[in-house]
Amino acid sequence: MAVSSNDVKMKSAGIGIALTVNGRAHRLELDPRTSLLDALRELLHLTGAKKGCDHGQCGACTVLVNGRRINSCLTLAVMHEDDDIVTIEGLGKPEALHPLQAAFVERDAFQCGYCTPGQICSAIGMLAEARAGWPSHATVDVAAEGTTLTGAEIRERMSGNICRCAAYPNIVAAIRDIVEGVHR
Amino acid sequence: MIGQALNRVDGPLKVGGRAAYAYEHWEAGQPLYGFIAGATIGKGRITKIDIARAERSPGVRLVLTHRNAPEQNAPDFSITSQYSRAFPVLNGPEIHYYGEPVALVVAETFEQARAAARLVDVEYAAEAGHYDFAARQNNAYAPKKVNAGLPTDSAVGDFDAGFAGAAVKVDQRYSTPYYFSQAMEPHAAMAVWNGDDLTIYVTDQILAEGRTCVASTLRIDLQRVHLISPYIGGGFGSKLGLHHEAILAALAAREVKQPVKVAMTRQQIFHLVGPRPTTSQRVRLGAGKDGRLVAIGHDVTMYTNPEWEYAEQTAATTRSLYAAPNRLTRHRLTPLDRQRGEDVRAPGEAPGLLAVESAMDELAYALGIDPVELRIRNEPARDPERDVPFSDRRLVECLREGARRFGWEERPVSPASRRDGRWLVGYGMAAAIRMHFQGTAKVRVRIGRDGIAVVQSDMTDLGTGTYTILTQVAADALGLPIERVRIEIGKSDFPESSGSGGSWGAANSSIALHRACKALREKIEHSAGEPGDLEAEGEVAGMWKEPAYQAYSIHTYGAHFAEVGVDADTAEIRLRRMLGVFAVGRALNAKTTRSQLIGGMTWGVSAALHEEAVVDTRTGAFVNRDLAEYLVPVNADIPDLDAIVLDGFDDKANVLGAKGLGELGICGAGAAVANAVFNATGVRVRDFPITLDKVLPGLPLAEA
Amino acid sequence: MRPFTYERATDPRAAVAAVSRTGAKFISGGTNLLDLMKLDIEQPSHLVDISRLPLKNIEELPEGGIRIGAQAANSDVAADRRVRTRYPVLSEALVAGASGQLRNMASIGGNLLQRTRCPYFYDTAAACNKRVPGSGCAALDGFNRVHAILGASDACIAVHPSDMAVAMTALEAEIELLGDQGARRVAIDDFYRLPGDTPHIETVLQPGEMITGVILPAPPPGRQGYRKVRDRASYAFALVSVAAVVAAERGTITAARVAFGGVAHKPWRSVEAERILTGQPATMANFRAAAEAAMAQAVGRGHNDFKIELAKRTLCRSLAQLAGELRRQL
Ligand SMILES: Cc1cc2nc3c(=O)[nH]c(=O)nc-3n(C[C@H](O)[C@H](O)[C@H](O)COP(=O)(O)OP(=O)(O)OC[C@H]3O[C@@H](n4cnc5c(N)ncnc54)[C@H](O)[C@@H]3O)c2cc1C
Ligand code: SF4
Ligand code: FES
Ligand code: FES
């Protein structure tokens, strides 16, 4: 649902699209080659989503599209007309953090912070997947119903987000705090 | 306040996605985009370069090649630190290493620049280059010094005689591959000219050196160069110096009279940023039946770029680690036609301890002595080579505490003796040691009428926690709540420090700040009753000027304990749990300290098990040059890993009792994992990383 | 990335018509195509976006099988109740692949058609017959640790990277295609080609043809399992993988399906192994005999020699595990 609208035109405009990001509607004129990640970062200046590899190999660019986590570097912006896109900036502000963002701070679940927006968006998508009962590679019996987010399940499901600072144990702790309702 | 587990003060900005990294600054307006085109040969020269197609490509504003790039200074190799030297780019038709930039294409959008970079047509006359480290060992030479100005060789007693006479001997060769830092933030820079002033938003660990490099490369006044690097997406040594992207952005921005930003692609980083040199190491340990070492020998050969000589101090910690009357360490360099080697987290110590601490495990096995006990038996009373006292050596304490907490006594004593379902289970341990360095730093602190203390320095925070610990130090020294302290770092115009690198940034800048605060408090007392803006500076001198560093051997220590599982059929190796116990003097922040240490330990795990940049010896290219093929650990690789820090205070190191720890975690960590793999399987792999293909032949076939 | 024009297809027939333009290509999840376009390996001049086509459903078929729409996301298929309970090998293979984010993007059609991860294929400066027919194969004498041990040729030793397709091969899936000549179905084993002299032609898909779905026949009897061996614990391609289905009665194997991943230019069905297993007692000796038969023709190229033994052991392990589960069931 759009609350306001914003027009951005790229120098090498080609296609006009409507993009809804963090609840705000944008009209973008852009080169069809533009990845969703570059559209967010370079056109809308939403640089929370990071470019770590540009090839789907790190997860730093993870955003939520219609509630699902995806790598925004491997999709074209033009493919997301009318999609509901949420980036880290839409989850919470420094002065009013989302509980998971707060848990990341509390648990020191990052160091340099570069992978962090991707980790947090990914975790939000992951928690929804687990609630929906999706199996993972860590699931002993994929046919079984329901998902219990054990440490092994969280680690496997978060393995699409590389943290070179290697805050992994702290990332898992932060997510567990949310799962167990420590942060509200 | 100091030492407390304060949350990172920059945390909310980072988790909110609002911390601006090098490629993310908009205050100078819309920049143009630069994209690097790299050489597709490893050695030779450009015979023809045709930029017509690229120039005609939509949106292209500039194509820089060696033919139109402005002249730049050549590096002055008499300058010790490679990161302060000029770093010219596109300065001739010669190609020195695979991927070397041959052009920069600047266009209005990123896509236009990338597409046009492909249209630069280059023809080369390739020459036969030397790319094969193993094949070139005979060409090794002795450098004058190794990294950090340390001596190339050392000898105490009579190694040959001591080793020859030893009752039990280990004489093994180990190899380590090319490793890369691969920080998550790619190397990036945006250059903005304002008249003669050049501002570069950059991702750089040591701004003062970066500034010197830019000024001397571009032949401009140092005062005209302003580097801005408030947030750094990890560095691990790879951003100690600036690279092609910064110089190219500066050259191009001057040409097009508009800001230009350039980022390396992940693939380009493998050819444009230096790797940790690949090494071949021979370790010789001679001991009596009681396990006491009589001889330690550590010979290291590694690659170097022929011009940009770089020698990791691979055997340096071997000089201080264990007692033995007869000792020998040597570093040799094999020139190869490859990009310069650069510092990667714990340069030298990390690969050196992989070898030495593996060898100690081999010795313990040969002697039938508990590896922990073996190390305790070889604890020196004084630094065995420098013959000075240790300032604060607590290795034995780390070993004992770690063994106790980890449950070391539960270990499978003989190799390949424990099973958990399909998993062969093994325990391994290793010691950690790292030299503590101190460099110069200046910090300014100012207090305004609003009662807010503002701290300024050109220090950087690459995730280490500088913002947070400086907040704590200032709050402590000035008696202020942390909300009234503001840290301004990451600008080269601020008072000069030695930046972040070699784990010295935290201690250097904290001491300088501590002194600045003391001076400020004196000023406040003197100016009693007159509120106003007051400021003071504090300074710390380099270790070479500090008598304590001559009189004492100052190190940090630790002990790693690892449990691995090796699949009995497929030889897949997975870490099960790991614990490190460390003595680092005083930890300035319990939370960020632990984070640094577990991060380092994780690096050790992947140095042992995953990471390896493979060279195609036909071309000099790194074959597996992306994050899908150069495997760094993912979350699932690190199940249960923790670090414990012993309470401490090293009064010889500095007034705060603090020492560097950002690299200690990796030191020895890989060897603990490697030793656990041996304990699990009975297979000793000496060529790192220990991938399943190397273990598989040693595993018996499964029975029904 | 070369410039291209973009259109979004609204129905399958229109999509097929749209892609008949020269240089046109379908884009679905984009996770493989854009990866390759960024490196100039794929250079389409027109993209037909099929990601919103109504081909996302999973339907029951009258004979007990299911039909999976080509546009269904890998994650949705992995999580589907029917797939999880009746085709667990497929669910397991899907969740063993890529990452959570990528599986949310990747389509079934795109997964089938993803291209090799051979590093020389990814390097436009290297010789590669698959990328530039006739240019040679840099992997033959290069770093070939991840390359094929079965069915390769001197023109190409690349492997197909998909996990999903290996499970589908064991399940004897059929690929449903739509072209301007109409619809057809191809058995998955016939869908993929071996490299021969034309490694750039990877499937029997005709130019302009679109995958509309995958048909899984009623599940074969027995226990199913997917075992993937890789260098790190997650988010890595297979060195070797095995999809197996084993049925047994009183300790004797009555039916078996075996397919390998990471060993060949296509998912590698081993009828040799299946033949040896069928009618034999479920013992390690017989598993090993099946593994030997499966790898009888295997050839290493140096760095990948270990894959031969690894594939054998992985198969034995999978069979032992499935047989163990069968025993527990009795
Ligand atoms: C870092 C990384 C790790 C990965 N790891 C794994 C792994 O471990 N295991 C694994 O199996 N896979 C892995 N993958 C690959 C991933 O599964 C594929 O990229 C994905 O399945 C492709 O699906 P897509 O819909 O995104 O395809 P696209 O990229 O959209 O398309 C791929 C190709 O198929 C064509 N195409 C797509 N749909 C159709 C159709 N319906 N009809 C005709 N042609 C079509 C396109 O034209 C294109 O040529 C990984 C990918 C990445 C980036
Ligand atoms: S193995 Fe195949 S894909 Fe790889 S370089 Fe050779 S021809 Fe190309
Ligand atoms: S930037 Fe998208 S996955 Fe790395
Ligand atoms: S916090 Fe630095 S990469 Fe994760």
**Do the domain assignments include residue B75?**
yes
User: Chain A: residue nearest B20 by CA?
Assistant: A47
Distance in angstroms (rounded) separating the CA atoms of residues B586 and B650: 7
The shortest C-alpha distance from A19 to chain B (Å) reads 19
pLDDT digits (tens, 9 = 90+) for A23-71: 999 999 999 999 999 999 999 999 999 999 999 999 999 999 999 999 9
Q: Which of A58, A90, A122 is the last residue of a domain?
A: A90
Q: How confident is the model at residue B51, as a pLDDT?
A: 98
Q: How confident is the model at residue B702 (pLDDT cuts 50, 70, 90)?
A: confident
**Do the domain assignments include residue B704?**
no
> Contact at 8 Å (CB) between B571 and B692?
yes
pLDDT digits (tens, 9 = 90+) for B581-628: 999 999 999 999 999 999 999 999 999 999 999 999 999 999 999 999
**Do the domain assignments include residue B9?**
no
Name the one residue in this structure whose structure tokens are 């999880």: C84
**Do the domain assignments include residue B153?**
yes
User: DSSP states of C139-188 as a string?
Assistant: TTTS--TT--SSS-BTTB------SHHHHHHHTT-EEEEEETTEEEEEEH
Same domain, residue pair B504 and B585: no
Same domain, residue pair A173 and A105: yes
Is the pLDDT at B502 greater than 90, yes or no?
Answer: no
Name the one residue in this structure whose structure tokens are 């026949």: C217
Distance in angstroms (rounded) separating the CA atoms of residues C59 and C65: 9
**Residue B508 corresponds to which tokens in the numbers above?**
């250097």
pLDDT digits (tens, 9 = 90+) for B514-554: 999 999 999 999 887 666 789 999 999 999 999 999 999 99
* Cβ within 8 Å, pair C284-B634: no
C130 Cβ closer than 6 Å to some ligand 2 atom? yes
Chains interfacing with A (3 or more CB pairs < 8 Å):
B, C
Same domain, residue pair B495 and B638: no
Which residues on adjacent β-strands are paired with residue C225?
A: C244
Q: Which of B499, B517, B541 is the last residue of a domain?
A: B541
Same domain, residue pair B576 and B689: yes
Domain span at residue A76 reads: 15-90
**Residue B80 corresponds to which tokens in the numbers above?**
């010790």
Task: With beta carbons under 8 A apart, name residues in chain C contacting B114.
Answer: 1, 38
**Do the domain assignments include residue B218?**
yes
Nearest-CA neighbor of B694 among B135, B177, B302, B277?
B177
Residue B58, preceding peptide bond in cis (omega within 30° of 0): no
Which amino acid belongs to residue C316? C
Check which CATH number belongs to the domain holding A118 and give it. 1.10.150.120
Same domain, residue pair A123 and A61: no
Is the pLDDT at A12 greater than 80, yes or no?
Answer: no
Check which CATH number belongs to the domain holding A84 and give it. 3.10.20.30
Same domain, residue pair A116 and A85: no
If phi > 0 it is left, if psi is from -120 to 50 it is alpha, else beta; for residue B416 that is left
Same domain, residue pair B415 and B558: yes
> Contact at 8 Å (CB) between C148 and C158?
yes
Q: How confident is the model at residue A104, as a pLDDT?
A: 98
Q: B506 or C272: which carries more pLDDT confidence?
A: C272
Task: With beta carbons under 8 A apart, name residues in chain B contacting C309.
Answer: 696-697
Q: Which of C1, C122, C125 sits opposite B40 (nearest CB)?
A: C125
Same domain, residue pair A108 and A86: no
**Do the domain assignments include residue B694?**
yes
Is the pLDDT at B273 greater than 90, yes or no?
Answer: yes
The shortest C-alpha distance from C176 to chain A (Å) reads 25
User: Chain A: residue nearest B187 by CA?
Assistant: A52
Q: How confident is the model at residue B527, as a pLDDT?
A: 85
Same domain, residue pair B611 and B688: yes
Same domain, residue pair B197 and B70: yes
* Cβ within 8 Å, pair C4-A134: no
* Cβ within 8 Å, pair B602-A168: yes
pLDDT digits (tens, 9 = 90+) for B473-499: 999 999 999 999 999 999 999 999 999
Distance in angstroms (rounded) separating the CA atoms of residues C24 and C208: 9
Is the pLDDT at A9 greater than 90, yes or no?
Answer: no
Number of domains in chain A: 2
Check which CATH number belongs to the domain holding B520 and give it. 3.30.365.10
Q: How confident is the model at residue A7, as a pLDDT?
A: 78
pLDDT digits (tens, 9 = 90+) for B397-434: 999 999 999 999 999 999 999 999 999 999 999 999 99
Q: How confident is the model at residue C182, as a pLDDT?
A: 95
Alpha-carbon distance values, B126 to B39, B96, B314 (Å): 11, 11, 34
Name the one residue in this structure whose structure tokens are 């944008």: A26
Instruction: Tell me the whole-structure pTM to 2 decimals.
Output: 0.98
Residue B689, preceding peptide bond in cis (omega within 30° of 0): yes
Same domain, residue pair A106 and A175: yes
Same domain, residue pair A86 and A103: no
**Do the domain assignments include residue B355?**
yes
Number of H-type helices and E-type strands within chain A: 6, 6
The shortest C-alpha distance from A82 to chain B (Å) reads 23
Same domain, residue pair B667 and B613: yes
pLDDT, averaged in runs of 10, over chain C (330 residues): 96 96 97 98 98 98 97 98 98 98 98 98 98 98 98 98 98 97 97 98 96 98 97 98 96 97 98 98 96 98 98 97 74
**Do the domain assignments include residue B94?**
yes
pLDDT digits (tens, 9 = 90+) for A66-107: 999 999 999 999 999 999 999 999 999 999 999 999 999 999
Same domain, residue pair B665 and B559: yes
Same domain, residue pair A77 and A105: no
Domain span at residue B241 reads: 14-20+31-127+181-272
**Do the domain assignments include residue A4?**
no
Q: How confident is the model at residue B151, as a pLDDT?
A: 98
Mutation choice for ligand 3 from A35, A58, A161, CB with most ligand atoms inside 8 A: A58
Distance in angstroms (rounded) separating the CA atoms of residues C301 and B516: 64
Could you tell me the distance, in angstroms and rounded to a whole number, from the CA of residue B595 to the centre of ligand 4? 11
**Do the domain assignments include residue A7?**
no
Same domain, residue pair A64 and A122: no
Task: With beta carbons under 8 A apart, name residues in chain C contacting A31.
Answer: 3
Same domain, residue pair A86 and A137: no
Q: How confident is the model at residue A3, as a pLDDT?
A: 43
Same domain, residue pair B647 and B511: no
Q: Which of B618, B634, B704 sits opposite C234 (nearest CB)?
A: B634
Q: Which of B219, B252, B272 is the last residue of a domain?
A: B272
Q: In the 8-state DSSP scheme, what is residue B666?
A: G
**Do the domain assignments include residue A184?**
no
Which residues on adjacent β-strands are paired with residue B331?
A: B300
Number of domains in chain B: 3
Q: Which of A76, A133, A135 sits opposite C91 (nearest CB)?
A: A135
Q: How confident is the model at residue C90, as a pLDDT?
A: 98
Has the ipTM of the complex gone over 0.95? yes
Q: How confident is the model at residue B530, as a pLDDT?
A: 65
* Cβ within 8 Å, pair C232-B631: yes
* Cβ within 8 Å, pair B631-C236: yes
Same domain, residue pair B453 and B580: no
Residues of B labelled catalytic:
663
Q: Which of B222, B255, B272 is the last residue of a domain?
A: B272
